[in-house]
Structures are given as structure tokens and as C-alpha cells.
Amino acid sequence: MHRFTTAALVSSILIAGAVPALAADLPVKARPMAPVMAAAYNWTGCYIGGNVGGKWVRTSGSVNIGPTGTGVGLGAPAAVAFAAADASTLIAGGQVGCNYQAAGSNWVFGLEGDADWQRWSRTSTLVAPVPTPFVAGDIFDIRSRWQASARGRIGYAWDRLMIYATGGAAFTNVTVGSNFIVFGIFPATVASDTKTLFGATVGGGLEYAFTNNFSAGIEGRYSWYGTQTYNAGLVATVFTPAIGAAGGAFTFAQATQTYKLDTFEVMAKLNWKIF
């Protein structure tokens, strides 16, 4: 009995000593790591980029020949109206701008300027009947080669995706040509007038940042430039034979062209944030 008790006591001591050693050899489960949250993209910074797209143009207007002072007959004022007509063109160019987004805010505020090449035109050829001193075959045209804008932007961002509205000033060049053909003894008149027009533009778009520096988007804008008047040259309207001579004299009147211009464009844009 005494031996059994002694053996049991020794066994208990050995087991008690072995348990911690065995526990030390067991693999310890790692403490769970707190999830690492990726920082939201911030649109603050300045960028440069390029764009390409399409543009639709609507023009309407008239050509007018003022009075020569006689007030009657060939000397009276006359006008021919041009119905509204559409033209289209590809556009391509570049833009530069800056954005600001406060930390923790979804709102993005920015400024952007762009300039684009374009090539649209409209030609109108008169057909009979036309009022005197116009002649069937007289040709009038309007065309443009570039446009630009300076705008503000207000956007709302969901991380790397932003939608925005934009608006500001629009600029474009317009050249107007006039070709009053020879009619009988009346000489031809060829004239051209070029102006840089100032107007307004509004629109909107969306943009997505694929990397911290590279973003792409699409934008649509409507622009209007009001109604402008252009010089169309001096047109011979009255011929007065010289008394007692074989020759004679022409009386000239000022001609003008007046156009109303509106445009709409859609472009794809690529931007690189430089800082």
C-alpha cells in the first residue's frame, strides 16, 4: 500500500512537470490582425491632357445690302435670309487644369482651360428669284478652324469616380466670305471678314482615375455665341451714265452678313496629374 501511494505521488509529479513542457511545444494561434483600410483617392492636384471628339454646329442668318441714298429702285436696301443649317467636324486638342478636394469631403472644385482644332463650314448659293441687287449665283460662306474655353468645374467623387458640371467662357474664330458675282456691267465684289467670338459654354462629364496620376473621362458641352455682324464689302447697286460721255459711274452700298452660332460637342479626355 505504501509502495502504491509512493508510485502514484511520483507519477503525479512527473505528469505535472510534463504538461507545461508539452503546452510549450503546441503551436500558438496568431492574434488576428486589424484590417488595413486603403486610403480614399484624393483629386487634389494639377494636370495636363489631351482630348478628341465630335462637334455639331448650327448657324442661321442673313446677308444685307444697305441703301445707296436714292431710296428707290436699285438703290433700296435688300436682304436675303439663311435658314438654320447644321455642320459637323472632328475636334482634337488639349487641356490643363487644377482640382481641390478637402480631406474627408466628396466635393471637388477645379479650373480648366482647353484649346481645340476644328474644321467646319457652311456655304450658301443664291438661286432665283432674289431681290435686286442680289443675283442668282452669289455665294456666301462661314467657317471656323479653332475653339477654346476657360471654365470652372464642380464635381462629386466616389473614391476614384467623379461626376462634374462645368461652365465658363468660350472662344472661337469665325471667317465669313462674300462673293457677289459679275452681273451685266456691274462688277463683282469679293470680301472676307474674320472675328474671334466670345460666348458662354456649359456642360458636364464623368472622370475615373485608373492610377494615382492617370485618369480618363468623357465630357459634353453646349456653347453659344449670340448674333454677330460681318463686313461683306461694297456692292455696286446703281449705274449712272455720264452726261455727254460714253462712260458712267457706279453707286456702291455697304453689304453685311449676320450669323447666329450655337455648338454642341462630345469629347473623350485623358489627363496626367503632374503634382
Q: What is the pTM of this model?
A: 0.81
Is residue 14 scored above 70 in pLDDT? Answer: no
Q: What are the tens digits of pLDDT across the range 38-81?
A: 678 999 999 999 999 999 999 999 999 988 655 444 467 899 99
| Better-scored residue on pLDDT, 29 or 216 | 216
pLDDT of residue 11: 47
State the DSSP code for 73: G
Helices (H), the chain: 2-25
Question: Are the C-beta atoms of 199 and 225 separated by less than 8 Å?
Answer: yes
Is residue 8 scored above 60 in pLDDT? Answer: no
Is residue 229 scored above 60 in pLDDT? Answer: yes
* Secondary element (H or E) of residue 111: strand 107-125
* Of 78, 66, 108, 113, nearest in space to 94 by CA: 113
What is d(CA 273, CA 275) in angstroms, rounded to the nearest whole number? 6
The Cα angle at residue 102 between residues 97 and 105, in degrees rounded to 5: 115
Q: Where are the domains of the chain?
A: 40-273
| Better-scored residue on pLDDT, 234 or 28 | 234
Is residue 1 scored above 50 in pLDDT? Answer: no
What is d(CA 73, CA 60) in angstroms, rounded to the nearest whole number? 28
pLDDT of residue 185: 86
Question: Which of 74-83, 118-127, 135-144, 145-154 comes out lowest in average pLDDT?
Answer: 74-83
Peptide bond into 32 cis (omega under 30): no
